[in-house]
Amino acid sequence: MDIGSGYALTLMLKATEEYMVFYSQEEFDEYIREHNLSEGDYIDGFIHYELPPEPFIEEK
């Protein structure tokens, strides 16, 4: 599943404090499986890379 434009999942390994960025939930889950990580090994979250455009308000 693509998580949408402008957003990415982040993962921080607690042992090394290394950050990783993933652009889909599948990519994120695959990394966790491949490295045999448990929930206590990392901190996950979303990061917002770009702000949505400002709404156009026509002045009268």
**Residue-wise pLDDT tens digits, 1-60:** 555 566 788 999 999 999 899 988 899 999 999 999 999 999 998 877 665 566 666 666
Residue 47 has a pLDDT of: 77
Q: What share of the chain is helix, strand, coil (3-state, %, to 5)?
A: 20, 35, 45
Q: Are 49 and 10 in contact (CB under 8 A)?
A: no
Dig out the tokens for 49 from the structure.
Answer: 């890379």
What per-residue confidence (pLDDT) applies to 57? 67
Instruction: Give the pTM.
Output: 0.67
